[in-house]
Structure 1
Amino acid sequence: MWEETSAVDKYGASPTGESFEPGRQRQVCTRYKRKGKRHRRQTGGATRTVMALDSLPSRVVLLYDEWLKLADPRTEDWPLMASPIAQTLIVIAYIYFVTTLGPRLMENRKPFDLKNTMVVYNFSIVGFSIYMIYEYLMSGWANGYSYGCDLVDYSSNPLAVRMAWTCWLYYFSKFIEMLDTIFFVLRKKTSQVTFLHVFHHSIMPFTWWFGVKFSAGGMGTFHAMLNCCVHVLMYSYYAVCAMGPAYQKYLWWKKYMTTIQLVQFVMVTVHIGQFIFMKDCPYKFPVLLYIVGLYGLIFLVLFLNFWYHAYTKGKRLPKVAQKSKALQNGNGVHHSNGVAKEATNGIFYGTTNKVANGFHHGNGIHNKEK
């Protein structure tokens, strides 16, 4: 645009042959200059916007690279740990199957008979959980940890690496436990596929990916070891239930399941909560501890709410169950010891004898029925 201001020659003529008066030449030049400045300002703003948009992906990449520099280098080459992309695809596929694809495929089909499959699956989870408990104990919780301010050991010490690998095993177990929901779908128990249930099984791999990636050890793993202990009991119950009515007599301890769950969440909340009152505990990524504490507190409240309505209130039925009590023999609602199979806040409760695969999931999300 600046070339246009000099387009008039010394004789006052433009390149097109049009002539101008000397006085008008200055006005035209001024007009062209002002137009050029205005155009330059507009173009400059647009250019800056385009450059900012172009640089945004680069900034994100740089931020991601800087963030990963803080990660634990020991776990970098372990399966699924290079980036969160692989696990994200798995979780998306899981959500799509249990909420959309699976129910559609099963809509006009008979439920699968998975009795033997579930017996093997549940006992496998029991064995896997026992192994993880042993590894957690040997790599720290029974071998040097104080149950107070236990920091993550990022060294290549064999004990520290063993703890990190146990954390990865627990992380991987969250993918295996997705089969709980898939069994629901294949057995056409879609009423059990609640939002809270699916959300829990979807979010656990993500939270534990960060745990293994940045903080594989220390006090943040106490809840994992404790949850493995509860899973031994829960999945043992599931397995025996799946074996059939002849084995129900061995499940006399099912009435203690809710108590076990409450004790678990109290212990997790108290253990993590002590970090808030510690004056000198230089945990490298405290945000992970807050996430664990919040998670334990939420489910403690949910279980206390259940306990209050099911026991303290004299096992009073929820309103939905009260309305359906007259129709209980025709609508599939069964009662045992005065407690109905019912759903509240997305969590299924029940102490019925019509149970085939569990009273309640070890993480407080669901119970399973036959």
Structure 2
Amino acid sequence: MSGIFSFMDGYRHFMKTYTDPRTADWFLSGKLGHLVVILVSYVYFCTKAGPRYMKDRKPYELKTVIQIYNLIQVFASMYLVYEGIMGGWLHEYTFSCQPVIPGEKGMRMARAVWVYFMCKLVELLDTVFFVLRKKYNQVSYLHLYHHTLMPICAWIGVSFLPGGHGTLLGVINSFIHVIMYTYYFLSSLGPEFQKFLWWKKHVTILQMIQFCIIFYHNFQVLFRECSYPKFINFLLATQAAYFLYLFGCFYVNQYMKSQKKKRNQQLANEATHVASNGKLKDNGEVKANGDVTNGYVKSNEELENGSAKQNGYVENKAKVN
């Protein structure tokens, strides 16, 4: 028991020493226990309780709810991009090294960091909606890991570093979310809009570009003097690299291997269709109500009774694909 009390005393001392006093009293800021309860409940619901609850139920439609949710995310992300740029990255912040600006001067960025943290918590609903709609294939390791880790990173930011170097991540991520949730909103409007949404895979490409920028932005500062915690730079750089790997694997499986599989399946279906209307010779030529020579189909007149020719050879000019 003494060890537990000692740990708690050390935790309280750490939080009192390093928590930014400007944000210490803000909702959920500096309250690690609250965050842990939220994230543990989230993972448990999405992996255990939710699927168990939905087992004998029909999927909820939630169309209107999701449309409103997506629009809120679009406007919230637009606000964060604007605040992040105007609050520092357009004028005062530097790419190579940016300490946290203390006092009232940095309050605009601090407020943006807190809003970003709230958005990361609200985004947990993405997975909840998947579960309630029984779209369990969407609840992947990548999805759960991403949605669990981002609130932790945002909590560290709002509690200890509400501004500075790490906020570029929030600006870029919010910009990606403007595009991503716009896509989700348009997709939810129905098939008449979905047929124009050809740019889904490009959102994944933008996400991978995002991780490349974040990795370089935090990795390069490790080798220079900068009044920003190197541990946070290291954490952000390694996580950006890991996310790049995870999203890269997703892109290959979703848009490269699956497309190749679809093409192979289409070719197999075409071959089956052709074979069902004729004979497939050993040398690869096809008899389809006639004979195939050099890619052209001879007419049935040549094959009447198996060998008869009437008035010479007649060739059909339609090539067999």
TM-score by length of 2: 0.76
CA contact (8 A) 2:222 2:233 kept: no
Deviates more, 1:222-231 or 1:266-275: 266-275
CA contact (8 A) 1:310 1:316 kept: no
2-structure distance, mates of 1:233, 1:219 = 24
**Pick aligned residue for 2:226 from 281, 297, 302:** 281
2-structure distance, mates of 1:313, 1:192 = 18
Return the letter of the residue paired with 1:57: I
Shift of 1:269: 1.3
Shift of 1:326: 8.3
Deviates more, 1:291-300 or 1:60-69: 60-69
CA contact (8 A) 2:222 2:234 kept: no
Shift of 1:256: 2.2
**Pick aligned residue for 2:9 from 62, 66, 70:** 62
Shift of 1:140: 0.5
- Deviation track 1:50-93 (CA, whole Å, cap 9, x = no partner) reads xxx53x23322331132121221111100011421112111122
**Pick aligned residue for 1:137 from 85, 88, 96:** 85
Partner of 1:126: 74
1-structure distance, mates of 2:47, 2:122 = 18
1-structure distance, mates of 2:143, 2:199 = 24
> Do the aligned partners of residues 195 and 232 (structure 1) sit closer, same or farther apart at CA in structure 2, a change above 3 Å counting?
same
> Do the aligned partners of residues 306 and 202 (structure 1) sit closer, same or farther apart at CA in structure 2, a change above 3 Å counting?
closer
1-structure distance, mates of 2:102, 2:191 = 50
* Number of equivalent positions: 267
Return the letter of the residue paired with 2:10: L
Alignment of 1:1-370 (within 5 A): 53-54=1-2, 56-68=3-15, 69-157=17-105, 160-278=106-224, 280-283=225-228, 285-307=229-251, 315-317=259-261
> Do the aligned partners of residues 124 and 291 (structure 1) sit closer, same or farther apart at CA in structure 2, a change above 3 Å counting?
same
Gaps of 5+ in 2: 270-321
SS at match of 1:316: helix
Shift of 1:189: 1.0
Partner of 1:15: none
Identity between Structure 1 and Structure 2 (%): 38
TM-score by length of 1: 0.67
> Do the aligned partners of residues 112 and 175 (structure 1) sit closer, same or farther apart at CA in structure 2, a change above 3 Å counting?
same
CA contact (8 A) 2:30 2:155 kept: no
Shift of 1:322: 8.1
Shift of 1:239: 0.5
SS at match of 2:57: coil
> Do the aligned partners of residues 207 and 310 (structure 1) sit closer, same or farther apart at CA in structure 2, a change above 3 Å counting?
closer
CA contact (8 A) 1:310 1:317 kept: no
CA contact (8 A) 1:240 1:247 kept: yes
Question: RMSD in angstroms over aligned alpha carbons?
Answer: 2.6
SS at match of 1:75: coil
